[in-house]
Amino acid sequence: MMAATAHNRFTRLLASVRLRRKSRLNRVDGFQKFLYVLLTLLGLFMILPLIYIFNHALKPYQELFVYPPRIFVQEPTLQNFTELFIVTSSSVVPVTRYLFNSIVTTGLAVLLVTIISAMCAYPLSKHKFPGHRFLFATILLTLMFAPETVGIPRYLVVSKLGIMNSYWGHLLPLLAAPVSVFMMKQFVDQVPNELLEAAKMDGAREFTVFYKIVIPMIMPAVATVAILTFQSAWGNLETSRLFMQDESMKTFPFFLSTLTNGLANTVARQGAAAAAAVILFLPNFIIFLFFQRKVIATMAHSGIK
Amino acid sequence: MYPSEAGTKTAVSLHRGRLARSVLRVKAALKLIWAYRLSYAFIAPFLVCFVAFILVPVVLAILLSFTYFNGLQPPRWIGWQNFLYLLSQDLIFLKYALPNTIKFALIVGPGGYAASFLLAWLISQLPNYARTLYALAFYTPSLTAGIAMTVVWLPLLTGDRIGYLNSFLLSIGAIEKPVLWVTSQKYLMGSMIAVTLWSSMGVGFLAQLAGVLNVNRELYEAGRIDGIKSRLQEIWYITIPSMKPQMLFSAVMAIVGTFKAGEIGQQLSGTFPTPQYAGHVLMSHIADYGEIRFEMGYASAISVFLLVLMYLSNKLGWKLFGSRGDE
């Protein structure tokens, strides 16, 4: 008896699975099949250089310059990474120092940019203080300008502030991120006013409202801003190039750019450069992989109305 | 009492009254500002950095562009001379930097933008799990932006037969001898454009993807009832109008990204300036004058020119995708 009902249930389950699979198959129409082929080809083309750089970083010397060139590595080795770290450790500034500078500035930048942008976005969206329209219009306007274009006046400002050759010189220019404030502000707009007012009725102070209600509700935007800041700070070449004369204050991307200087003509250090590029790329990729859902959720509200 | 005297008296009292009223108004405004002091405290940290590193530099650039300034002596006011020289006599600017920038911007800007919209739309037609995978595949290249991108592409584009692209084209017989992809004047610009396009599916692409996914499904059904026949009509009448804000955001990002790309030619070719100025764009021209010749006034004039160019392109973007107040 029991066995019979179990069997019954089992067949019903099977049938439903079969049905569902069939309906799913039906949904993949001709257009979608065509799409799959097209997008797969295109996607492979997009990823190919990345597959190749990973393989390149793992190639031993004799494979780096073999003819005809092969994309895939035959005998993977960590030789390039050891070269990057050990050979350069005897030079004036070891590579670990560049890496350390990068980690410090990137970590601080991510933390401070998210805090500062969120703090600015909250009143900008919810408090009607005098000048909030003007401030938002200015931020919108500066979205259209890249601060890199005015490198020389930026250099003058940084030197007048006396923050050359210090971590402040790396950090402070990154904190002025209108895009971050803009994205956060669009997200704070979605937080219902009633919620904030109710909290204030109950005697919550502004800071508590910000910390306990606004921040948890805009978490996707916080994650997105953190990721984008990480990407720009981790790959940031400008502050090292312009504001740091002291070699020991420069960052890892700068070190990589010295490796690649003249790479078009010469073969020296190609393996080490590939290894460094992998180090530069991998953290970006892993972090994005973890938070991609939140990023897309934030982007839905990123429109300029 | 003479009429004129009476006139002055009333004028004085009127003046006094106006003064009192304006004093009151200022007091009220101050009171209002004081009432919002907490809001100002919240925005202060960002505002300070924003003013110091964006607003002041832009204003300074505009001021410096009217001076001769070499970084050592104090700036000397020379009026419009920098701009006059730039637009009439600077041959490298007129022959290389400006045409190169326009060519690069026209292909990478609208081209990359259209491609990212098309890809976003195509991906959105797929079921959920596949969508994530493809989005990741297209977005990942933009993570290598900057110097890492050069390292990825250089061995692929190396000019001898060891270069991957050369070797591939030689083996299928498309070319007879290796092509100098990054060091010859003829091909550098093409390589720059290809590499930039490859990595251009960044934030703007994600914004567009989110925009397409966020379009209200009911609109499509309503459209079908109203007689929309093809997917093309759907895109034109429903998808694009409902995701205008994301399109605009993405357009702004594309424009800014395109104009500020200056180092790519220099990094690919490994020389500065690039071979026969083939990859010389406005950003490289600024670097040339600002960081090498120390003619900072002139370099500022070029950056002001670039800012104006960016602003005008953005205006065009707003015209195309900006929503009017009532929408």
Per-residue pLDDT tens digits for B185-232: 888 999 999 999 988 888 889 889 888 988 888 888 899 888 888 888
Which residues have C-beta within 8 Å of that of residue B229, sequence separation ≥ 6? none
Return mean pLDDT, chain A.
83
CB atoms under 10 Å from CB of A128, counted, come to: 10
Which residue in this structure is represented by tokens 């104090």?
A: B74
> Quick one: which of A130, A182, A172, A138 has its CA closest to B40?
A130
Q: How confident is the model at residue B6 (pLDDT cuts 50, 70, 90)?
A: low
A155 within 8 A of A243, measured Cβ to Cβ? yes
Name beta bridge partners: B125.
none
A120 with B45: Cβ contact below 8 A: yes
Tokens found for residue A41: 């080809």
Smallest Cβ distance to B151: which of A32, A129, A277?
A277
- Of A136-140, A210-214, B262-266, the range with the lowest mean pLDDT is B262-266
Which residue in this structure is represented by tokens 């839905």?
A: A300
Return mean pLDDT, chain B.
86
pLDDT value, residue A22: 46
Which of the residues A20, A21, A46, A245 would you substitute to probe the B interface, choosing the one with the greatest number of B C-beta atoms within 10 Å? A46
Altogether, the residues listed in chain A come to a count of 305
Tokens found for residue A79: 């030789």
Give residue limits of the domains in chain B.
1-35, 92-321
Q: Which residues of B touch A157 (CB under 8 A)?
A: 52-53, 56-57, 60
Check if B92 contacts A (Cβ < 8 Å): no
* Mean pLDDT score, A4-15: 57
Check if B236 contacts A (Cβ < 8 Å): no
Element (H, E) at A223: helix A219-234
pLDDT at A69 over 80: no
C-alpha dist (Å) from residue B101 to A69, B90, B104:
34, 15, 5
pLDDT at A5 over 70: no
* Mean pLDDT score, A203-231: 90
Q: How confident is the model at residue B310 (pLDDT cuts 50, 70, 90)?
A: very high
pLDDT value, residue A23: 46
* Mean pLDDT score, B252-281: 85
Chain A nearest-CA residue for B126: A32
CA distance B158 to chain A (A): 6
Fold of B92-321: MetI-like fold (1.10.3720)
- DSSP for B229-280, please give it: -SHHHHIIIIIHHHTHHHHHHHHHHHHHHHHH--HHHHHHH-SSSPGGGTT-
pLDDT at A112 over 90: yes
Residue with more model confidence, B200 or A122: A122
Query: How far apart are the C-alpha atoms of A178 and A50, rounded to whole Å?
Result: 31
- Of A61-70, A100-109, B52-61, the range with the lowest mean pLDDT is A61-70
* Mean pLDDT score, B297-310: 93
B67 three-class SS:
strand
CA distance A4 to chain B (A): 37
* Mean pLDDT score, B268-291: 86
CA distance A234 to chain B (A): 10
- Own/partner contacts of A286-290, CB < 8 Å, gap of 24 or more, are A287/A227, A287/A230, A288/A227, A288/B139, A288/B140, A288/B143, A289/B136
Q: Would you give the distance in Å from CA A243 to the centre of its chain? A: 23
> Which amino acid, B230?
S
* Mean pLDDT score, A178-182: 92
A147 with B57: Cβ contact below 8 A: yes
Please give the DSSP secondary-structure letter assigned to residue B176. S
Chain A nearest-CA residue for B33: A130
C-alpha dist (Å) from residue A203 to A115, A140, A197, B31, B39:
24, 34, 10, 23, 18
pLDDT value, residue A1: 44
Cis omega (within 30 of 0) for bond into B241? no
A53 within 8 A of B152, measured Cβ to Cβ? yes
pLDDT tens for each residue of B135-192: 888 998 888 877 778 788 887 887 777 778 888 888 888 888 888 888 888 889 999 9
Q: How confident is the model at residue A167 (pLDDT cuts 50, 70, 90)?
A: very high
Rg of chain A's alpha carbons, rounded to an integer?
26
> Quick one: which of A222, A225, A226, A240 has its CA closest to A102?
A240
CA distance A92 to chain B (A): 22
Task: Report the predicted TM-score, pTM, of the whole model to 2 decimal places.
Answer: 0.83
A229 within 8 A of A159, measured Cβ to Cβ? no
A251 within 8 A of A101, measured Cβ to Cβ? yes
* Phi and psi at residue B77, to the nearest 5°: -70, 125
Smallest Cβ distance to B150: which of A67, A117, A260?
A260
Tokens found for residue A13: 């389950």
Query: How far apart are the C-alpha atoms of B280 and B88, rounded to whole Å?
Result: 18
CA distance B205 to chain A (A): 10
* Mean pLDDT score, B15-20: 77
pLDDT value, residue A124: 92
C-alpha dist (Å) from residue B96 to B90, B148, B307:
10, 27, 18
pLDDT value, residue A210: 92
pLDDT at A134 over 80: yes
- DSSP for B80-101, please give it: THHHHHHHHT-HHIIIIIHHHH
Query: How far apart are the C-alpha atoms of A128 and A134, rounded to whole Å?
Result: 11
> Which amino acid, B72?
L
B162 with A69: Cβ contact below 8 A: yes
* Mean pLDDT score, A136-160: 87
C-alpha dist (Å) from residue B110 to A196, B307, B308, B316:
42, 19, 18, 12
The percent of chain A in helix, strand and coil, each rounded to the nearest 5, is 75, 0, 25
pLDDT value, residue B1: 43
Q: How confident is the model at residue B308 (pLDDT cuts 50, 70, 90)?
A: very high
Which residue in this structure is represented by tokens 């700070």?
A: A233
pLDDT value, residue B120: 92
pLDDT value, residue B232: 86
pLDDT tens for each residue of B34-56: 888 889 999 999 999 999 999 99
Helices then strands, each counted (H, E), chain A = 16, 0
A to B CB pairs, distance under 8 Å: 299
pLDDT value, residue A300: 79
pLDDT value, residue B305: 94
Smallest Cβ distance to A277: which of B148, B213, B268?
B148
Tokens found for residue B265: 């030619």
pLDDT value, residue B327: 37
A67 with B158: Cβ contact below 8 A: no
β-strand B76-77 against B67-68: which pairing, if any? Answer: antiparallel
B267 with A38: Cβ contact below 8 A: no
Q: Would you give the distance in Å from CA A84 to the centre of its chain? A: 24
B143 with A300: Cβ contact below 8 A: no
CA distance A199 to chain B (A): 17
pLDDT at A17 over 60: no
pLDDT tens for each residue of A232-243: 899 888 888 889
Q: Which domains occur in chain A, in start order?
A: 30-77 (no CATH), 95-299 (1.10.3720.10)
Cis omega (within 30 of 0) for bond into B3? no
Query: How far apart are the C-alpha atoms of B279 and B189, rounded to whole Å?
Result: 6
pLDDT at A91 over 90: no
C-alpha dist (Å) from residue A102 to A92, A233, A255:
18, 8, 11
Query: How far apart are the C-alpha atoms of A100 and A102, rounded to whole Å?
Result: 5
A210 with B154: Cβ contact below 8 A: no
> Which amino acid, A204?
A
Q: How confident is the model at residue B84 (pLDDT cuts 50, 70, 90)?
A: very high
